[in-house]
Chains A and B, each alone.
Chain A
Amino acid sequence: MFDKNKLEEIKLEKEKWAEEKVKKAISRFPERKETFRTGSNLEVDRLYTPEDIQDIDYMEKLGFPGEYPFTRGVQPTMYRGRLWTMRQYAGFATAEESNKRYKYLLEQGQTGLSVAFDLPTQIGYDSDHPLSQGEVGKVGVAIDSLKDMEILFEGIPLDKVSTSMTINAPAAILLAMYIALAEKQGITPDGLSGTIQNDILKEYIARGTYIFPPEPSMRLITDIFEYCSAHMPKWNTISISGYHIREAGATAVQEVAFTLANGIAYVEAAIKAGLSVDDFAPRLSFFFNAHNDLLEEVAKFRAARRLWAKIMKQRFKAQNPKSMMLRFHTQTAGSTLTAQQPDNNIVRVAIQALAAVLGGTQSLHTNSRDEALALPSEDSVRIALRTQQIIAHESGVAETVDPLAGSYYVESLTNAIEQKAMEYIEKIDKLGGAPKAIEKGFIQQEIQNSAYNYQMAVEQGKRIVVGVNKFKIEEEAPKGLLKVDPAVGKLQEQKIKQLKASRDNMQVSAVLQELKDWAKTNNNLMPVIIRCVKAYCTLGEICDALRTVFGEYKASINI
């Protein structure tokens, strides 16, 4: 990007500066540390100059927003056209309670819904299952059947909102419920917009809500790809998630590498199932974490976009530019929130949210200050949403596209992250791809090592966490934390009892049998799952039917 003579001059001047100015400064005031590192342990130089980015060919590496390789963003005008979607992940207790929270969030100016399901729902157990005891309605809303979905979205027109559902192993079933519910509102599937997480590989790696073994799980995913490419052009069929991988302890480089490696596995599975890449790839979406190291995170998002574009174009020969676009949701980093001095978390979240916006996110969830203590209270959720609104309307960062491009530091970090992530992907390819690397425990082990190193650095004081290992104060226990009524479990159990007494149970057994029969063939399962939910089969019944055919996943344990 610079002419040779100028670069030579800069290089000489830099050497002179280091010799004359820096040495003198250091002799009087030594630097704070021997070496400086990013939050993810990449070494940071004292100063970056044009020398560090001299190899960047602008058109090849950066280009223009909305154009390959999308380093500068996926839309030509980015936030000048439309701000990112402010989407707070919410849901707890019963469908009735969660419906109230959604209406509150929409009134407060939120622009999309994001449904949190409780763990029994995510693992395919009804609320009355023995393993559900104590967990019903705890980390999200309990959904046992289409009846609960009807209550959850009561008074919310599904063609007017976009809905994101954090559901993985039983994603096909919840999607089927959403389709059936829309039909009752008079809306056809092509009018629906939203996302299902539907990313099973990272469940095996980091999040733990798996049900079936990898092979049938991948089949359910490709069935969804196929169904949606024909019927739901505005639906994101998967949200390939680095978020949980990062929360489990991965570095920024590992987050990009393992997420894109999983992405490659899904694309390969879909192609193997007979789909053509440009039919499904435009609806793939991603989900990343935003940590505290502001500039490293910005570089991470940019590197991920460039790397995915290259993979889709070169490796999978995609033709449609939309297939090459890495569109993503971001959530601020739960694992960075501290139980100590929880108000400090507001500041952390603001920095992380800023990173996501400077990195070009399509939607954003900002965490609440009290999440290291409990589910967030309404006051805390409002501050979190206001943080996004302040960034959007007061900070000025949304007024131009990709404002940090050209920063010597950010560009060289973008290069470094891309390159190191690519090295990991090559290693995973050699192991036989992400599913094999997971089976061998490689990815899990790499993440665990990073998590342990981080914890030790904090305990040894090499890494400062304000309020935890430095700047501590005596504190009183915080008040006003949200508590989920333990009666929720009983309430859901009653609802299931009533449902089972009032539905057509003959029809229920017939469709469940049909589902089992289809599961043994190669037929796309979506139509029969839709029939099951419409007959008010419960989530647990549908998952049990599939369990009898598919079996269950057993994790191998390494520590």
Chain B
Amino acid sequence: MTGSKTIRVLIAKPGLDGHDRGAKVVARAMRDAGMEVIYTGLRQTPEQIVEAAIQEDVDCVSMSILSGAHNHLFPKVVKLLREKGGEDILVVGGGVIPEEDIPGLKEAGIAEIFTPGTPTGVTIDFITKNIKRN
């Protein structure tokens, strides 16, 4: 990323949990850092998230789950993105996610997992350095 184009991020809440304090705080911090941010709202299916990501032409999908459904839902989003031509979209996740689940999620194509206590700056830095699109 050379800074020539504004980074577009989709903040998404897959699954049924309603805890979006973290998602909203991260969204606002990204916006304050100069990114364009779209928030899906609660209870999005992987299909809806992927559709929004492609329609909005985002560089990154950043998902948050606190219910424990991450192993089921995060990989599904990556898989669908690849099927729909969004394989160059960076996918990251956050929430209450046990350490031991992280290697499996990374293997499934989630580039990084941010657990509780991560400063918003760390997430923003990671996205800035790792987006695949020019």
Contact = CB atoms under 8 A, between A and B. Distances in A.
A209 B73 contact: no
A249 B41 CA distance: 17
Interface in B18-71: 18-21, 24-25, 27-29, 31, 37, 39-43, 45, 67-69, 71
A500 B28 CA distance: 47
A441 to B, nearest CB: 12
Given A451-B21, A555-B41, A120 B16 contact: yes
B83 interface: no
Nearest to B74: A134
Nearest to B69: A134
B73 to A, nearest CB: 6
A477 B102 CA distance: 11
Contacts of B40: 557
Contact of A208 (B17, B28, B37, B71): B17
B18 A339 contact: no
Interface in B80-134: 96, 98-100, 115-117, 119-121
A138 B42 contact: no
A351 to B, nearest CB: 19
A513 interface: no
A544 interface: no
B6 to A, nearest CB: 17
A559 B68 contact: no
A338 B118 CA distance: 11
Chain A's interface size range is: 35 or more
A87 to B, nearest CB: 22
B20 A459 contact: no
A130 B119 CA distance: 35
Given A131-B45, A338-B116, A455 B29 contact: yes
Contacts of A545: none
Given A131-B16, A340-B117, A468-B117, A448 B28 contact: yes
A372 B43 CA distance: 22
A123 B17 CA distance: 10
Contact of A372 (B28, B96, B100): B96
Interface in A369-425: 372-375
A135 B16 contact: yes
B30 to A, nearest CB: 10
A7 to B, nearest CB: 45
Select the residue from A122, A339, A469 with max chain B CB neighbours within 10 A: A339
Given A374-B96, A374-B98, A484-B68, A459 B15 contact: no
Interface string A245-267: 00111000000000000000000
Given A335-B21, A559-B37, A134 B119 contact: no
Nearest to B20: A208
A459 B19 contact: no
B67 A373 contact: no
Nearest to A339: B116
B18 A203 contact: yes
A133 interface: yes
Contacts of A451: 21, 24-25
B72 interface: yes
Contacts of B37: 559
Given A452-B25, A559-B39, A119 B117 contact: no
Given A139-B17, A249-B21, A372 B68 contact: no
B68 A374 contact: yes
B28 A131 contact: no
A481 interface: yes
Contacts of A120: 16
Contacts of B121: 459
A404 to B, nearest CB: 30
A207 interface: yes
A458 B118 CA distance: 11
B108 to A, nearest CB: 14
A14 to B, nearest CB: 42
B72 to A, nearest CB: 3
Interface string A184-227: 00000000000000000001001111000000000000000000
A157 interface: no
A209 B18 contact: yes
A123 B21 contact: no
B21 A373 contact: no
Nearest to A338: B117
B16 A559 contact: no
Contact of A247 (B21, B68, B96): B21
A123 to B, nearest CB: 6
A459 B39 contact: no
Contacts of A459: 119-121
Interface string A445-461: 00010011001001100
Contacts of A478: 99
A451 B26 CA distance: 11
Interface in A134-167: 134-135, 138-139
Contacts of A555: 41-42
B45 A373 contact: no
A375 B68 contact: yes
A373 B17 contact: no
Contacts of A455: 25, 29, 120
The 5 A-B pairs of least Cβ separation, nearest first, read: A208-B18, A134-B72, A477-B99, A119-B16, A134-B69
Given A135-B67, A247-B21, A484-B68, 10 more contacts: A122-B16, A134-B69, A135-B17, A249-B25, A340-B117, A373-B99, A374-B98, A452-B29, A455-B25, A481-B98
21 contacts: A122-B16, A130-B45, A133-B72, A135-B68, A135-B69, A138-B67, A138-B69, A139-B68, A203-B18, A208-B19, A208-B42, A247-B19, A339-B116, A372-B96, A372-B116, A374-B98, A451-B25, A486-B72, A559-B31, A559-B37, A559-B39
Interface of A: 119-120, 122-123, 130-135, 138-139, 203, 206-209, 247-249, 335, 338-340, 372-375, 448, 451-452, 455, 458-459, 465, 468-469, 477-478, 481, 484, 486, 555, 557, 559
